């Protein structure tokens, strides 16, 4: 019998007679987040090629957003959420609306349900005013969010959305973690393969 085979058999015999290590069910599943949630969210989203703009106020947010959108014609920037439209109009940010998204669309602007700091994920749902399309179809997805929508872990986000809608949960709840990407073909990373190639989150 070869030495390698003998060693493997000896390990198996030893393992049979040893007490298995007991899992610690009291230990936390996640490491604690020691930074402010907005900083943790920013770092974790930017690790997967997303972009986060932290702003001191609503006015600063829309000023930054207007600057970001200056190279895109208003007709290629679509927002279909009434509350968000009012904010864009208040701050003179050019945009358009469209029930059927045009093929020339460049940017879709949406709100979100919650932001998960641990993974840098954006939670959106079908209950949002703009429906499902604007977070999937445009090449560039812009999310406008508030700091009070930040939570630490995904469990908190699901608890909050259940509390928000109670028995009327949205038909679709989606987590977006960075731009759409795939490496299925020859292990080459391709951005925007199945959705937006860019994700920008503006928080105030």
Domains in the chain (CATH in brackets) are: 32-203 (3.40.50.10420)
State the Cα–Cα distance between residues 79 and 189, nearest whole angstrom: 29
Residue 9: φ, ψ to 5° = -65, -40
State the Cα–Cα distance between residues 7 and 77, nearest whole angstrom: 66
State the Cα–Cα distance between residues 104 and 88, nearest whole angstrom: 21
What is the pTM (predicted TM-score) of this model? 0.84
pLDDT of residue 184: 63
State the Cα–Cα distance between residues 98 and 87, nearest whole angstrom: 17
pLDDT of residue 8: 84
In this structure, are residues 106 and 140 in contact, taking their beta carbons and an 8 Å threshold? Answer: yes
pLDDT of residue 21: 75
* Predicted confidence pLDDT, tens digits, the chain (204 residues): 577 888 888 887 777 776 777 778 888 778 899 999 999 999 999 999 999 999 999 999 999 999 999 999 999 999 999 999 999 999 999 999 998 999 999 999 999 999 999 999 999 999 998 878 999 999 999 999 999 999 999 999 999 999 999 989 999 999 999 997 776 666 666 665 677 999 999 999
pLDDT of residue 190: 66
Q: Among residues 57, 193, 52, 168, which one has the least CA distance to residue 117?
A: 52
3-state SS class at 114: strand
pLDDT of residue 187: 65
């Amino acid at each position: 019998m070869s030495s390698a085979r003998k060693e493997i058999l000896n390990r198996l015999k030893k393992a049979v007679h040893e007490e298995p290590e007991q899992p610690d069910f009291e230990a936390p599943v996640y490491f604690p987040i020691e930074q402010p949630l907005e900083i943790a969210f920013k770092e974790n989203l930017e690790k997967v090629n997303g972009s986060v703009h932290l702003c001191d106020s609503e006015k600063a947010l829309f000023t930054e957003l207007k600057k970001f959108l200056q190279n895109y014609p208003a007709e290629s920037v679509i927002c279909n959420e009434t509350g968000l439209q009012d904010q864009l109009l208040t701050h003179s940010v050019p945009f358009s609306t469209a029930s059927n998204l045009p093929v020339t669309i460049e940017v879709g602007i949406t709100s979100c349900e919650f932001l998960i700091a641990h993974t840098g994920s954006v939670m959106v749902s079908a209950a949002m005013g703009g429906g499902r399309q604007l977070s999937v179809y445009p090449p560039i997805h812009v999310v406008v969010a508030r700091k009070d929508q930040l939570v630490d872990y995904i469990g908190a986000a699901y608890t909050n959305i259940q509390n928000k809608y109670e028995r009327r949960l949205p038909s679709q709840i989606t987590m977006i973690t960075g731009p759409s990407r795939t490496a299925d073909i020859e292990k080459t990373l391709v951005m925007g393969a199945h959705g937006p190639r860019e994700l920008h989150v503006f928080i105030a």
